[in-house]
Amino acid sequence: MASTLDRILGPRVPPEERAAHADTYRKPALFFGAAALLLMASMLLPYWILHLEAPQFPDGLTVQAYVNRLEGDVEILEGLNHYVGLPSFEHGAVLERTVSIAAITVLAGLLLAAFFIHSRWVVLLALPALLFPLIFLADLQYWLWKYGHSLDPRAPLADAVGEFTPPIFGPARIAQFHTLALPGPGLLLAFVASGLVAAGLWYHRKAFKPLIEQMDAEAEAASR
């Protein structure tokens, strides 16, 4: 059991080695820690922003999607959804909105736990945070498609609008509405965090790979 745990935790860095190459062993933790902080901060900011313009709304409408809620002109759009036949926003991404805060907190916690892993197992702790922005976008695209293909045929304007799939980003036109979808600052922070995680993994490999190879060689020699 101790041997398995030792292999998961990885080699300990000798004090003299750490003193001689302090920056080398400090960089992975710095990158992982910065990524964890950015992920936590991202929850306070919108991840996705949608602007809509139409003749009856000359000033436009805006919806900001946070990881756990919608803000902006939500009530006005809910009224429009009724006429178009779109489902209520309350029915979309319920699970995602419910667990998002806890899930992102766990991702940040895993990155902090990676401070203490000096083996290849660190990838398992860092990979969720690395992929999180892409998973968010894939889930968002799914719900955009689902909403655009779940029109209530009894709605007054359902036939006029027809099924549609809004793009995640960029301009689009839905009936008389011109839309522009943009990444929010929260999502941008999540992508920066993902880049920091990738950098942390690179520096982690650079720092600990020689020690891992030495530990593996010693274990192989002892088994003979």
The answer to whether residue 224 is domain-embedded is no
The answer to whether residue 54 is domain-embedded is yes
How much is the pLDDT for 2?
Answer: 46
How much is the pLDDT for 223?
Answer: 66
Question: What's the total number of domains in the chain?
Answer: 1
The answer to whether residue 19 is domain-embedded is no
Per-residue pLDDT of the chain (224 residues; tens, 9 = 90+): 446 777 788 778 888 888 888 888 899 999 999 999 999 999 999 999 999 988 888 888 999 999 999 999 999 888 887 777 788 888 889 999 999 999 999 999 999 999 999 988 999 999 999 999 999 999 999 999 998 887 777 877 767 677 778 889 999 887 778 889 999 999 999 999 999 999 999 999 999 888 877 777 766 666 66
How much is the pLDDT for 84?
Answer: 77
How much is the pLDDT for 220?
Answer: 66
The answer to whether residue 221 is domain-embedded is no
The answer to whether residue 2 is domain-embedded is no
DSSP-assigned states of every residue in the chain: -HHHHHHHH-PPPPHHHHHHTHHHHHHHHHHHHHHHHHHHHHTTS-SEEEEEEETTEEEEEEEEE-SS-EEESHHHHHHHHHHHTPPPGGGSSHHHHHHHHHHHHHHHHHHHHGGG--STTHHHHHHHHHHHHHHHHHHHHHHHHHHHT---TTSTTHHHH------SSEEEEETTEEEEEEE-HHHHHHHHHHHHHHHHHHHHHHHHHHHHHHHHHHHHHHH-
The answer to whether residue 64 is domain-embedded is yes
The answer to whether residue 121 is domain-embedded is yes
The answer to whether residue 166 is domain-embedded is yes
Q: Structural domain of residue 66, as residue ranges?
A: 36-210
